[in-house]
Amino acid sequence: MKSQLRVMVAAAALCLLPVSVYAQQGVTSDEILIGSFGSLSGPSAFVGLPGRDGTNLAVKEINAAGGVNGRKIRLIFEDDGNSPTRALAAAKKLVEQDKVFALFSIGGSNPTSGTLAYVKEKGVVMYVSFASAPGVTFPFDKHLFRGGTTESARYGELYAEFMVDYLKAKKIALISGRDEYAKNEADYVTRQLKDSFGTAPVARADFNPGDKDFTPQLLQIKGANPDVIAILGYPAEAIIILRQARELGLDQRFFVGATMVEESVAKNAGAAAEGITGFTLLPLLPTSQDPGMVAWLAKWKKEYPNAPAGRPNLFDVLGYNDMYVFAQGLRNAGPSPTTDSLIAGLEQIKDYRVGPTANPITFTDKYHIGNLRLQPKIVKNGAWENVDWESKRESAILQRYK
């Protein structure tokens, strides 16, 4: 009898313990804790800070509307300093000390790549908003999802075809950063030129992120006399490269990578930017006068009235959009979310679109690359305009991913 009484008392005591004892790590009766890392300092802070701000705005709106299945989302941010080592340390802290339910990466390819083996080992879901590094989605791992950006191979496919088909380039030169993001894009452009068009870049020069003088690289490229020069890297370098190229007498057409298709490049490179082309990950740039983007911009400015010049940028919008996608995956996971139900919930997402500021996102149990479509643009009269061009290989390429 005494033994039964002790069991009953113990059971009653357990019932009084907080709900979090029984719940999945990072999930309580009223909260879901998400860990995030990105470059909040250093030369790549133009990626991480906007990513954080856009994500925070989305979370504020989601929570104000009732949260996710009755729970509010709470975010913890860590600074990765654009370093794979620091990103790994941040991921470990978030998972092992802060006990987050899942990770939401607003880091670039370089830092995010440093966390992939750990994420797979720990079996935690990580939603990647910005990084195009191949390792996020190849080889396939059920814990890793890529959102608003696309993978490096997809950039290579579109960039190479556009330069050959639309720009009619016979001789293409590449100038790219040595960081993982830019190097991967250049590698895949080179591969696609060979595989699909039987050609190769006539010159390829590289630089370190943060460089200010590109004269040696541009002189190397000038000697090859290309039809088109592709710049792959970040906006700050693109602005200087375009100016220096014109000063050195390079009057060729320029193509720029997706992160460079933004107002700062068209504005700050001035006449040197006229006629450049590139692809954007967004259907609308933040400067668009489309009513949907105007309405979003008003919300963003109300939240961040003292933001620096050049904001919001691409990464504000991507962070905002992707947090809504992630929240939809959490809703689909049901009232008692687990890692497995979150994976299943994200894999249920088909053509989910936050609004006119976002491309539709789709995941399946066979691929976790949410966005495969990009919009080509050109600078005319100092502003980006849409280019009327469609990939001739689009159907075959998209079918391969499915």
Q: Phi then psi for 316, rounded to 5 degrees?
A: -60, -50
Q: Is residue 44 part of a domain?
A: yes
**Predicted local confidence at residue 14, as pLDDT:** 41
Element (H, E) at 222: helix 215-224
* CATH number of the domain within which 17 lies: 3.40.50.2300
Tell me: do 164 and 306 sit in the same domain. Answer: no
pLDDT at 401: 61
Q: In what order do the strands lie in the sheet with 144-146?
A: 72-79, 31-38, 102-105, 126-128, 144-146
Domain count, the chain: 2
For 211, other C-beta atoms within 10 Å of its C-beta total 16
Residues 45 and 104 in one domain: yes
Confirm if 37 and 91 have CB atoms less than 8 A apart.
yes
Specify whether 307 is located in the same domain as 380.
Answer: no
What is the structure's pLDDT at 7? 38
100 and 125 in contact (C-beta within 8 Å)? no
Question: Does the residue 364 lie in any domain?
Answer: no
Name the burial class of residue 345, with classes exposed (0-12), middle (13-18) and buried (19+) by CB atoms within 10 angstroms of its CB.
buried
Residues 272 and 320 in one domain: no
d(CA 121, CA 293): 40
Indicate whether 131 and 214 sit together in one domain: no
Q: What is the DSSP string of 75-97?
A: EEEEE-TT-HHHHHHHHHIIIII
Q: Give the pLDDT of residue 373.
A: 87
Gap between the Cα atoms of 343 and 360, Å rounded: 18
CB 91 within 8 A of CB 119: yes
pLDDT on residue 307: 95
Instruction: Indicate if 127 and 244 belong to the same structural domain.
Output: no
Cα(112)–Cα(128) distance, integer angstroms = 8
Has residue 5 been placed in a domain?
A: no
CA angle 190, 220, 271 (to 5 degrees): 90
- Residues 324 and 392 grouped into a single domain: no
Structure tokens at 398: 């998209």
Residues 142 and 161 occupy one common structural domain = no
- Answer whether residue 384 is part of any domain: yes
- Which H or E element spans position 375? strand 375-380
Q: Residues 377, 279: contact at Cβ < 8 Å?
A: yes
Q: Tell me the pTM.
A: 0.92
pLDDT digits (tens, 9 = 90+) for 318-369: 999 999 999 999 999 999 999 999 999 999 999 999 998 999 999 999 999 9
- Domain membership flag for residue 54: yes
Judged by DSSP in three states, 216 sits in helix
SS3 content of the chain, % helix, strand, coil (to 5): 45, 15, 40
User: Is the residue at 358 inside a domain?
Assistant: no
Which residue in 234, 237, 282 sits closest to 257, CA to CA? 234
Bridge pairing between strands 126-128 and 144-146? parallel
State the pLDDT at residue 13.
43
- The Cα–Cα gap between 402 and 329 comes to 20
Phi, psi of 70 (to 5 degrees): 85, 0
3-class state of residue 223 by DSSP: helix
Whole-Å CA distances, 144 to 32, 105, 123, 197, 371: 19, 10, 10, 32, 14
CA torsion sign for 286, 292, 296, 301 is positive
H-helix or E-strand containing 277? strand 277-280
Which of 176, 343, 143 has the alpha carbon at shortest distance from 188? 176
Nearest 5°: CA angle at 276, between 197 and 376?
65
The residue ranges of the chain whose pLDDT is under 70 are 1-23, 394-402
145 lies in the same domain as 157: no
Q: Are residues 223 and 268 in the same domain?
A: yes
Backbone angles phi, psi at 169, to 5 degrees: -75, 135
In this structure, are strands 277-280 and 375-380 parallel, antiparallel, or unpaired? antiparallel
Enclosing H/E stretch for 102: strand 102-105
* DSSP letter, residue 95: I
**Domain containing 242: what range?**
152-280+375-401
Question: Are residues 162 and 100 part of one domain?
Answer: no
DSSP three-state, residue 394: helix
Domain-terminating residue out of 303, 327, 347: 347
Whether residues 228 and 300 fall in one domain: no
Cβ atoms 73, 32 nearer than 8 A: yes
In this structure, is residue 367 part of a structural domain?
Answer: no
Q: How many CB atoms lie within 10 A of CB 218?
A: 22
Domain membership of residue 357 (yes or no) is no
